[in-house]
Amino acid sequence: MSGEFRFETFVDTHSNIFNEYLSSVVANLSKENEEYKAIQDKIESLYQQYPKVLGVFDTEQVAELTKEECAALIRIMELKNQLADIELQSIYFRGCYDSVGYLKKAGIL
């Protein structure tokens, strides 16, 4: 490895915009990942079918739900977990991609 090379991570250099960078990776998922978009559409459809379910997330008011609405809420939470899994996987692979870039820059690859 070259004595001139100074290893500086993305986070070191751009810590002030790191959260924005991660958000941009996630924001692109609905445009680039069909599975992600389909899950978002399912969630939106459930909210339209059961509008009171969205009120559960309003911490200012009590929400009373029917049995069907409770089932929809559970399904929405399952779908949101699937979205989070896809987001984490996307961020992980973006980190792998960036790591290869660093190794190339360092002359290791």
Is 75 a member of any domain?
yes
What does the pLDDT look like over 51-90, one tens digit per residue? 999 888 877 778 889 999 999 999 999 999 999 999 999 9
pLDDT at 14 over 90: no
Which residues, in sequence order, are CB contacts of 107 under 8 Å at separation 6+? 1, 2, 5
Residue 96 is predicted with a pLDDT of 85
Is 31 a member of any domain?
yes
pLDDT at 93 over 60: yes
Residue 90 is predicted with a pLDDT of 92
Contacts 24+ apart (CB under 8 A), 71-77: 72/46, 75/46, 76/43, 76/46, 76/47
- Domain ranges, residue 46: 19-104
What does the pLDDT look like over 23-56, one tens digit per residue? 888 999 999 999 999 999 999 999 999 999 988 8
What DSSP string runs through the chain?
A: --TT-----HHHHHGGGHHHHHHHHHHTHHHH-HHHHHHHHHHHHHHHH-HHHHGGG-TTS-----HHHHHHHHHHHHHHHHHHHHHHHHHHHHHHHHHHHHHHHTT--
Overall domain count for the chain = 1
Is 39 a member of any domain?
yes
Residue 81 is predicted with a pLDDT of 98
Is 3 a member of any domain?
no
Which residues, in sequence order, are CB contacts of 15 under 8 Å at separation 6+? none
Residue 51 is predicted with a pLDDT of 92
- Please state the length of the chain: 109
